[in-house]
Amino acid sequence: MTLPPKVTDRAFDRLSEIGAADQGKALRIAVEGGGCSGFQYNIVLDDVTPDDLVLEGSGEKVVVDSVSLPFLTNAVIDFTEELIGARFVIENPNATASCGCGTSFSI
């Protein structure tokens, strides 16, 4: 069954901390060709467009464009704080391989 990506409370909380909605922005998760494994994630604060799937929580928005959406079926968008730094991460069950940087994957 095809399900849209899920966004964790921790990711929405981080968007609140950085004031994304206050700036009129949403967190855009896009999949692009490239990277060391074939595809890579592009994660940026951006404007919402009519083509976007909008995921909302805690007054914040995460958006995915229609081209990227099939690559993110059943994925989980999270925020993590580790020794190497804090970042948004994507747990993607569609990825058959990924690289150490965590932003590149293959299907």
- pLDDT digit string, tens, across residues 46-95: 999 999 999 999 999 999 999 999 999 999 999 999 888 899 999 988 88
Q: Which amino acid is at 94?
A: N
Q: Taking residues 18-30, what's their average pLDDT? A: 96
Please state the CATH superfamily assignment of the domain spanning residues 6-106 in this structure.
Answer: HesB-like domain (2.60.300.12)
Q: Which residues contact 26 (CB under 8 A, 6 or more apart)?
A: 20, 45, 46, 47, 48, 52, 54, 60, 61, 62, 63
Write the burial class of residue 100 (CB in 10 Å: 0-12 exposed, 13-18 middle, 19+ buried). exposed
pTM here is 0.86
- pLDDT number for residue 84: 81
User: Starting from the edge strand earliest in sequence, which strands make up the sheet with 6-7, in order?
Assistant: 6-7, 76-82, 85-91
Query: Has residue 8 got a pLDDT over 60?
Result: yes
CA 85 and chain centroid, separation: 17
Contact between residue 27 and residue 43 where contact means Cβ atoms under 8 Å apart:
yes
Q: What is the mean pLDDT of the chain?
A: 88
